[in-house]
Amino acid sequence: MTDYGHDLIFGSFVTPTAGRAGQAVELAVTSERAGLDLVTFQDHPYQAAFLDTYTLLAYVAGRTERIHVSANVTSLPLRPPAVLARAAASLDILSGGRFELGIGAGAFWDGIAAMGGRRLTAGQGVEALREGIAIIRDIWDTDTRGGVHHRGRYYEVDGAKRGPRPAHDIPVWVGAYKPKMLALTGTMGDGWLPSIEYLPQGVDSLPEMNTLIDEAARSAGRSPSDVRRLMNFMRAEFSPSSRGLLNAPAKAWSEQIAELALEHGLSAFIIGGDDAATIERFGAEVAPAARELVAHERGH
């Protein structure tokens, strides 16, 4: 049993389809109206059918007042880290502290290379991400004197000025599945952001993957609770009877989420599907009940 003690967060994962741009924005507005905490969009710049995610994030931040926004997750190989740091800080300032940074090492290398990015191996991608996160945090660190200097294997920054400072301490949520990425998450990340459908054994993978993150965190002198555990559920669906994880009545959703929080340490639950009615029920019925169940158990 692992409970890292974080407050629960509920969010949506909206497809940024260019041909239905209005729908993507309205689903974000619906997410806020439903009481969700977060709206996210995938970031695949090589997909011509998708809107540019960071342009969309800025637009959605301007159309909303309370909900937080994030890429799920940012493709670092196509977004230079120093420039990404300034974009993130700018979005955070303009939105009043509502931007969160989901980030990944990259996938679909053919698409990345086609857009002018470097083609890396999986191991190289991990090391490039390590360098990138360090640069991003240095750009945000306006308390340190002098410019940012980083001479890495994958990125060089030579005297970049620091700032602007974000409106709040932007967490870095890492999309990770393999051991090296999980170790990086424990060493450097503020959160772990995978999708349940891509875990090797679904929920059964969580104990081992959490352990890898926890061990890396401790080795780096951190606490495992420094890393929030988030999860995407891309096939979530309300159904009249329980058919599986988040494929059940609303009451069962709440019970399943409470179990995932208390037994496996998940504290952020993000649903896909692009369905306004599902988003509304998720916010109105599931989130309050799940929070109540978890609070009750933690109280004991």
pLDDT of residue 66 exceeding 90, the answer is yes
- Residues 4 and 223: beta-carbon distance below 8 Å: no
Please give the model's pTM, rounded to 2 decimal places: 0.98
Q: What is the pLDDT of residue 250?
A: 98
Per-residue pLDDT tens digits for 115-134: 999 999 999 999 999 999 99
The stretch 101-125 carries a mean pLDDT of 97
- The 10 Å Cβ neighbour count of residue 116 is 10
Per-residue pLDDT tens digits for 223-273: 999 999 999 999 999 999 999 999 999 999 999 999 999 999 999 999 999
Q: If DSSP codes are grouped into helix, strand and coil, which group holds residue 136?
A: helix
Q: How far apart are CA 194 and CA 13, in angstroms?
A: 12
Q: Is 261 exposed, middle or buried (0-12, 13-18, 19+ CB in 10 A)?
A: buried
Q: How far apart are CA 35 and CA 40, in angstroms?
A: 15
Q: What is the pLDDT of residue 1?
A: 73
The stretch 50-79 carries a mean pLDDT of 98
Which of 238, 231, 235, 219 lies closest to 269 in space, CA to CA? 231
